[in-house]
Copies of this chain bind each other. A is one copy, B any other.
Amino acid sequence: MPHYYFEDCVVGESRSFGQYEVTRESVLAFARQFDPQPFHLDDEVAAKTPFGRLAASGWHTCAMTMRMMVEHWTAIGLESLGSPGLEDLRWLKPVYPGDILHVHYECLDRRPSLSRPDIGLVKGAWRTVNQDDVTVCSFTATTMVRRRPAPGRT
- Rounded to whole Å, the gap between the CB of A101 and the closest CB of chain B is 13
Tell me whether A83 and B58 are in contact (CB under 8 A): yes
Label chain A's interface by main secondary structure: mixed
| Residues on B with beta carbons closer than 8 Å to the beta carbon of A47 | none
Task: Tell which of B36, B49, B83, B92 touches A91, judged by Cβ atoms closer than 8 Å.
Answer: B83
Q: Within 8 Å of chain B (Cβ to Cβ): is A33?
A: yes
- Rounded to whole Å, the gap between the CB of A136 and the closest CB of chain B is 12
CA distance A87 to B139 in the complex (A): 9
| Residues on B with beta carbons closer than 8 Å to the beta carbon of A86 | 89
Q: Within 8 Å of chain B (Cβ to Cβ): is A57?
A: yes
Tell me whether B49 and A35 are in contact (CB under 8 A): no
| Residues on B with beta carbons closer than 8 Å to the beta carbon of A35 | 63, 66-67, 70
Contact sample, A vs B, 16 pairs, CB 8 Å cutoff: A33-B63, A34-B63, A34-B64, A35-B63, A37-B82, A49-B81, A50-B81, A58-B82, A59-B62, A59-B66, A62-B62, A83-B91, A85-B88, A85-B90, A85-B91, A89-B89
Using CB atoms and an 8 Å cutoff, list the residues of chain A in contact with chain B: 30, 33-37, 39, 49-50, 57-59, 62-64, 66-67, 70, 73-74, 80-92
